[in-house]
Structure 1
Amino acid sequence: MNTTLGVGFIGAGPVTQAIHLPHLAGLSDRLHIAHVMDVDPDTAAAVAARAGARHSTSADELLADENVDVVAVCSPHAFHADQAEAAARAGKKAVLVEKPFATTVPEAERIAKVSRETGVPVLVGAMHTYDPAYLAAAAHWGDLPETARHIRSAIQLPPNSRYVTLATQLHSLPAGPPRRDLSDPAARAAAISGSVLGLAMHNLPLVRRFLPYIEAVDTAALLTPFGYAVTLHGPDGRTAELIGHMGTAWRPEWTFEVWGETAQLHLDFTPSYVRAGSARATLRTAHEERGFGPFPHNGYEAEWLHLADLATGAATPRYGLDDLVADLSFATDLAARAGTALQQEGASA
């Protein structure tokens, strides 16, 4: 009899195959993959076979499986709310929902309401908020969240396909999004909104920690072949700069920085598809410089370990439901404002 917690995956796309399965393989003393569901039967069967798990094409069948203790919702964004709610109502011990939490704030609020009603904890897969170096720095940064003046998130990556092929052999690749006519202002607005909710989303909970509210998006631009550059400010004069770019360069950069009145925080994160340990964090003041990390576990492994602790009652949620809803609200607000700013800039050009 397997005494570790059984994980059920709703959705077996690239994130499940190239990120979650390799990370869970290193946590087999706590978790095992019990069931893989995907609407493509061949993908479900092939991915489940790698882990010796059961497979199906029905979320209902997965939720009825008594060997599934915790559920990972890794389906397309539009299905997150309904499937997270169903997992909680099915009496599972904990639920992980991949980014974004939902597509709208009312959907996020519905998940939070169901979690409270059922007592089933819900975690959002924002891996950087669980990174051990980020958490170690947070324990020592004092009043930096209150005194922050400028925040910068920079993500420079090669195409995901390069990392995916290093991490695993995908059984199948989902169809890419249709090509857009970016000469159309509405298409450009949709493109930058999608970039914010896709790539920028990874660090937006960190941004919100230091800039809780958006007063305005000042500039927004699309980068080629894929990316964004957005600047914004809060009601108290705080500013933020968000840059994300996927090009042909191999060397990645994934940094997050905060400048306050008397301190500076710098974080270097490892790429998502590479099991290379935690970030490196540096906290500087006028009197000292302290470093944190790298630690053996990265944010993905840390969130899975936290989910296991939630499922067994050994921990309480690190982030409350109100915070998860607020993170989604911040992201959707930023995406909408960036799209509007891009359209306005195009109209005035």
Structure 2
Amino acid sequence: MVYGVGIVGAGPGVAALHLPTAARLGEEFAVVHISDGGSGRAAALAARVGARHSSGVDELLADPRVDVVAICSPPEQHAEQILAAVQAGVRGILCEKPLAMTTADAENVIDACRGAGVALIVGTNHLFDDAWGRTKHHLVAVGGPVQTVSVSMSLAPNGRYHADVTDDPPVLAQRGGAPDLQDPAVAAQIVRRLMIGLAIHDLPLLRDLAPGFPVDGEVVYARAIAPIGLCVGYRSGGVLVHLAAVMHQDGADTLWRLGISTSEDRVEVDFPPPFVHAGSAAVRVRAANGRWTTYTRTEQDGYLQEWRALADLLDSGEAIEYEEILDDARYAIALADAAAELVREGGAR
């Protein structure tokens, strides 16, 4: 069966990622409707694939050809639009990260999807990358406990992320110039938004490696980094985790690396740059004797695999991991809230 897809949102991610991915999965999905928030961009994107276009969500959700909705709108709109899609009777939803901005909204969304039996995938594409499956298999096979984890992100500026972290009070007061990172309220907002909007790519992975937060853990340090970035360290489940991210016009080439140190070896996962189809992440392992082993990459990237995961749920009728999705959201939101609070308090314990 080919499922009709309605895409809510018409930004760069839709143009560069979701439309090409749906085209590669033409035996499973066909984009039939694209809506925007009033920008007018949906018309041009829809013309590329012969789909209808509209503004808002009402017309798209009323389209009888729409079986599946991809929610690619700003994060604050995700929870409300998921609930509207469930109410409209769609069969499946792929929601870009994050699922919701608050724990209460995440719980409401999961309750609604579970009650209606709607297949749900959150587009944390690193979680669906084949390399992450190989990494977990290696960690289980070696058996050495995880001791430390680091995530390093050096990215070119991205207008969407910049808007996400600077468009609400108190940062609005800084419009026209760089955010005042000396203002604890401004710095705290930037850290929370980047945790939920950018670091969220890897937080489900970190929940696998360092589970238990916030019950079994605490944020140790947190600060915002100029011009837009963060540095956060926390303990969870006996594992020390360090997160660093910066978006800088004159920075180094894109780097997105997950490093895992166990009692036996060191694993490094280098993810491709965002917004490109470049195959799976690269995984290499440094043994105690200093020898490096590199795993073979695949052509399939996480963006493709998340859509395939949705197709599998729709085709098979298998149980949907609602609790796992909810626990991922709880972990991310609790961590973002704790990091932001520590920034407001001065940045370190």
What is the TM-score of this pair, normalised by structure 2? 0.87
- Structure 1 residue 304 and structure 2 residue 302: aligned? no
Structure 2 vs 1, CA of residues 119 and 145 (structure 1 numbering), >3 Å: closer, same or farther?
A: farther
Per-residue CA deviations over 1:33-71 (Å, capped at 9, x if unaligned) read: 110011216222222112210111241221221211211
Question: For structure 1, which segment, 21-30 or 262-271, has the greater mean C-alpha deviation from structure 2 after superposition?
Answer: 21-30
Question: For structure 1, which segment, 339-348 or 305-314, has the greater mean C-alpha deviation from structure 2 after superposition?
Answer: 339-348
Counterpart among 10, 16, 19 of residue 17 in structure 2: 19
Aligned equivalents of 1:112, 1:293: Cα separation in 2: 36
- Structure 1 residue 240 and structure 2 residue 241: aligned? yes
Residues 223, 347 of structure 2: 8 Å contact kept: no
Structure 2 vs 1, CA of residues 290 and 58 (structure 1 numbering), >3 Å: closer, same or farther?
A: same
Task: After TM superposition, give the deviation of residue 182 of structure 1 in Å.
Answer: 3.0
Residue aligning to 1:202? 201
Residues 156, 253 of structure 1: 8 Å contact kept: yes
Residues 210, 237 of structure 2: 8 Å contact kept: no
Residue aligning to 1:156? 154
- The 5 A counterparts of 1:186-265 are 186-214=185-213, 215-236=217-238, 238-247=239-248, 248-265=250-267
> Match for 2:312: what amino acid?
D
Per-residue CA deviations over 1:219-270 (Å, capped at 9, x if unaligned) read: 112212111111111253x201001011123511111011122243211100
SS, match of residue 108 in structure 1: helix
Residues 41, 56 of structure 1: 8 Å contact kept: no
Task: After TM superposition, give the deviation of residue 285 of structure 1 in Å.
Answer: 4.6
Residue aligning to 2:8? 10
Structure 2 vs 1, CA of residues 223 and 102 (structure 1 numbering), >3 Å: closer, same or farther?
A: same
Aligned residues: 333
Identity value in percent: 35
Residue aligning to 1:99? 97
- The 5 A counterparts of 1:1-349 are 4-40=2-38, 42-142=40-140, 147-160=145-158, 177=167, 178=172, 179=175, 180-214=179-213, 215-236=217-238, 238-247=239-248, 248-286=250-288, 290-313=293-316, 317=320, 320-345=321-346
> Match for 1:66: what amino acid?
P
Aligned equivalents of 2:206, 2:164: Cα separation in 1: 30
Residues 93, 118 of structure 2: 8 Å contact kept: yes
Per-residue CA deviations over 1:266-322 (Å, capped at 9, x if unaligned) read: 1110011121111012245558865433111110011011112222227554xx211
Residues 40, 55 of structure 2: 8 Å contact kept: no
SS, match of residue 142 in structure 1: helix
SS, match of residue 312 in structure 1: helix
Residues 165, 193 of structure 2: 8 Å contact kept: no
> Match for 1:302: what amino acid?
Q
What is the TM-score of this pair, normalised by structure 1? 0.87
Aligned equivalents of 2:335, 2:5: Cα separation in 1: 33
CA RMSD in angstroms comes to 2.7
Aligned equivalents of 1:75, 1:335: Cα separation in 2: 20
Aligned equivalents of 2:127, 2:165: Cα separation in 1: 30
Aligned equivalents of 2:260, 2:313: Cα separation in 1: 31
Residues 233, 241 of structure 2: 8 Å contact kept: yes
Residues 157, 246 of structure 1: 8 Å contact kept: yes
